Amino acid sequence: MHFDTLALRATHLSDPTTGAVVPPIHLATTFARDEANELTGSYIYSRPNNPNREALETALATLEGGAVGMAFGSGQAATMTLLQALSPGDHVLVATDSYYGTPALLEQVFHPWGLTYTRVHMDDLDAVKQSMHENTRLVWCETPSNPLLTITDLLTVSRLAHDAGALCVCDNTWATPVLQRPLELNCDIVMHSTSKYLSGHSDVLGGALVFKRNDEFTQRVRSLQSLSGAVPSPFDCWLISRGIKTLGVRMRAQMATAQAVADFLDGHPSVEKVHYPGLANHPDRALIGQQMNGPGAMLSVQVNGGTAEALAFIGKLKLFTRATSLGGVESLIEHRASVEGPTSSTPANLLRLSIGLEHAEDLIADLAQALR
């Protein structure tokens, strides 16, 4: 099936009791037993499982082509639970250009606990191979990366990980399963911040993991999910499931606008550089065509100057909301280095744009007046 059909069939579950075409929200935290003290259904308590979370997890596995899906209270909760499934003394290889919260978790929480890690440029395959240790258990990819939109060769990196006896994880938040299916590119686990494109309306916090196999490691993560309780509420699961219904339509519309915006900015006299996988002169254009169905709706732009010039530019914008996060229907812009803090390695003149559903000509006109 085409993705749009698959997304609707995976989330459009009629209520068997009433026939309602919109699934109900099951807010109960606990579930009754009969006179013989037997459960009347398959649920006992909402922390281990809930009908809305189960429906969302099944849908996520379907969309990514995986065996098991797990939903969490945030993307960071998903990442943290996965790292908790490793053992002290294990080594993690993580992309240098990745969401800043991922290495922050490793440095501030898991390194003191006993994990070691190495940051490496994932687009440098020789460096990836040389950075593997005997105790490497996890290779964390993010493609396109945040915020420089670096492209990682998932087939090759996953092979290098497997040769070293490690699992390969891909943060697929920016591409979504509309544009990229890492499990089909030999990755073992996919991670999502479902707060972003999957929910799509900037009104719910969530995260997810999808596993290629239902093996012992997968079940260890499932156990940690239940024990830690870092799970989304039934209403959050319902909202994310609702957002998934329109994911394909939104992504295609937002991507078309992002392409127009990137083409406008590329070569503008006030712009130093544009980072966007859809540019005709992108050095990884062949790889992008092999593993992605489109360049996505995120881009970064480096304006001429430094922090002062970047902040002055976004201060003039009228249609872009100056805010963190991405993937909603509204266009957002942020000065990434300010958000990441004093240890940020992001260029001081870089601005990250999340393109929404506004008309492309209106967004371009807004950017043009701010760049004058």
Catalytic residues: 47, 99, 171, 196
Between the alpha carbon of residue 300 and those of residues 47, 146, 221, 273, 274, the distances in Å are 39, 9, 34, 8, 6
Distant-in-sequence, close-in-space partners of 239: CB < 8 Å, separation ≥ 6? 199, 201, 203, 204
Specify whether the CB–CB gap between 143 and 151 falls below 8 A: yes
**Structure token pair of residue 143:** 């493609």
Return the ∠ at Cα 63 (arms to 192 and 21), rounded to 5°: 110
Distant-in-sequence, close-in-space partners of 246: CB < 8 Å, separation ≥ 6? 200
Peptide bond before 277: cis, by omega within 30 degrees of 0?
no
Beta bridge partners of 335: 351
Peptide bond before 24: cis, by omega within 30 degrees of 0?
no
